[in-house]
Structure 1
């Protein structure tokens, strides 16, 4: 069965953000995600709250919907700290965390925390170690965790009491290394297509990447069906702004191998009624 989630930009006061989380749950969505950046990439001078702090609050004001970052930002948090935050949110939510993991690409995040920009090759090597550490911590069953790598080290990290369950890891990215990490550590692979590209090109590229993931799974001795495929509908695939219907987008991307779909919370208030109509009238028929 297809799953449908929503990504929120944390660009309003905390009480309104929590109301949005509750509304997403009421509308029947499967996941509610936040972005994990230091500021709003659309309006750097605008308001933007910390994502992981909001997830902790969302965990206690919702009861069913899965919550998580799409995706976590390694520029802002060392892997050991992120693992502790993730365990805490999973505990608060009763096991509803979905742990999106990305490589971190925005210069503003580097500048804000005084980190030098990472060259592309370094970024992907860091990512592979980062995910390995977090996955290892989640599997430690409360035992201290140690890791020594090229870019990160963790020594005797306390892991008790551990998560309620090992949170599903959602690996976001399209580079070859990201696909390999998705196969080795991921439960879900997330993509968002190509910024500005026509829908037909995005569908074709997504099909190619899904075929490559199948090949990598088989080479690793993994059943490709155990790795779900998720698509973030935004930019030229945003059903509220692109002029392409959600039904068409879901049908074409499903044929390219996608299982799960994430829509954007409306960018402007005037789109809220259309967004809720999609949730109540269109999505139930698309679950399959």
Structure 2
């Protein structure tokens, strides 16, 4: 799959652990100090070991100045779409335009039902996500004075007032793997954020998944490049190489540059709660990946 030419982003996928309570916020501050572009958090409202994601993001935004913040990804079945839209816009306004909205159709349905959520079949969950995107974007259209009405199969809005508008065009990024979700991503989303560990074939699996997104985008009259491709991944730093993303920073840089150029990934989110790893990723790996990709885009060899 070709390089889509997007500006590269480097970030962190942090655990929203409730104990100690300030740890996740301090990691966000550390990610910013390391020069990373983005800090993101998973959202599992049924999990008592985790902080509430919206509260954490708000606190982290107040403690930082530059770094972007994102949900990775928000548990939509337990979040009413109008309130998601207003929460996202509020955080974006308060943070000076530093928020991006990752959404998921839902998983761990027993846990969702246990806290009062509705169990949805896979097809219903995707339908609900598509309806929610329409509602969220409708709420953000604050200049439209007409009441918002969406009579969906899963979500219903009967004359909601619109607004507030976010400070910038908040991207909606989807966590997607299966055909219908990938099609929805291409048709309407601003970004795609899979996790490398969920791909049995590793980075090679990205080609087929990207192709589904591209085909759907083209069929919808969109340029496939408008969909930013991000990747959650884990790895370990060591003096000697021991496999993909297990070795010195230079090896990481070569491997991530290859993934960027061959599979169009333009956002790399390291899953770690280790401040030393965040610093090495931001200070050593990210600059070298940018140089390698820039050289390749300029027609020079990237290396192995």
TM interval, shorter chain, is 0.7 to 0.9
Q: Equivalent of 2:24, from 17, 22, 39?
A: 17
Q: Which residue of 1 aligns with 2:224?
A: 224
Shift in alpha-carbon separation, 1:211–1:184, aligned structure 2, 3 A: closer
TM-fit CA distance, 1:174: 1.5
Instruction: Map residues 194-209 of structure 1 onto 2, 5 A cutoff.
Output: 195=198, 197=200, 201-209=201-209
Q: Which residue of 2 aligns with 1:256?
A: 263
Q: Which residue of 1 aligns with 2:35?
A: 28
How many residue pairs get aligned? The number is 273
The runs of 5 or more residues in structure 1 that have no matched partner are: none
Shift in alpha-carbon separation, 1:137–1:116, aligned structure 2, 3 A: closer
TM-score (norm 2): 0.82
Q: Equivalent of 2:276, from 248, 273, 276?
A: 273
1:148 pairs with 2:154: no
Q: Please give the alpha-carbon distance, in whole angstroms, between the structure 1 residues aligned to 2:218 and 2:84.
A: 31
Q: Equivalent of 1:58, from 48, 57, 60?
A: 60
Alpha-carbon contact 1:193-1:205 (below 8 Å) kept:
no
Alpha-carbon contact 1:142-1:158 (below 8 Å) kept:
no
Q: Equivalent of 2:132, from 130, 133, 140?
A: 130
Q: Equivalent of 1:96, from 98, 106, 125?
A: 98
Alpha-carbon contact 2:97-2:167 (below 8 Å) kept:
yes
TM-fit CA distance, 1:148: 1.2
Shift in alpha-carbon separation, 1:217–1:239, aligned structure 2, 3 A: farther
Q: Please give the alpha-carbon distance, in whole angstroms, between the structure 2 residues aligned to 1:278 and 1:161.
A: 36
Bigger RCO of structures 1 and 2 (CA < 8 A, at least 6 apart) = 2
Shift in alpha-carbon separation, 1:98–1:196, aligned structure 2, 3 A: closer
TM-fit CA distance, 1:69: 0.5
TM-fit CA distance, 1:147: 1.3
1:160 pairs with 2:163: yes
The superposition leaves residues 58-90 of structure 1 with CA deviations (integer Å, 9 ceiling, x where unpaired) of 222111111120111112211111111111111
The runs of 5 or more residues in structure 2 that have no matched partner are: 1-6, 246-251, 294-304
TM-fit CA distance, 1:213: 1.8
TM-score (norm 1): 0.86
Secondary structure of 1:177 counterpart: helix
TM-fit CA distance, 1:24: 0.9
TM-fit CA distance, 1:142: 6.2
Alpha-carbon contact 1:76-1:109 (below 8 Å) kept:
no
**Which structure 1 residue ranges, 4+ long, deviate > 4 Å from structure 2?**
239-243
1:174 pairs with 2:180: no
Q: Give the aligned CA root-mean-square deviation in angstroms.
A: 2.2
Find the structure with the greater CA-based Rg.
Answer: 2
Range with greater deviation from structure 2 (64-73 or 238-247)? 238-247
Q: Equivalent of 2:89, from 81, 87, 90?
A: 87
Range with greater deviation from structure 2 (78-87 or 276-285)? 276-285
Q: Please give the alpha-carbon distance, in whole angstroms, between the structure 1 residues aligned to 2:32 and 2:9.
A: 13
Q: Please give the alpha-carbon distance, in whole angstroms, between the structure 1 residues aligned to 2:55 and 2:24.
A: 12
The superposition leaves residues 190-243 of structure 1 with CA deviations (integer Å, 9 ceiling, x where unpaired) of 11145373xxx2222211111222222222211112211111114xxx346984
Secondary structure of 1:191 counterpart: coil
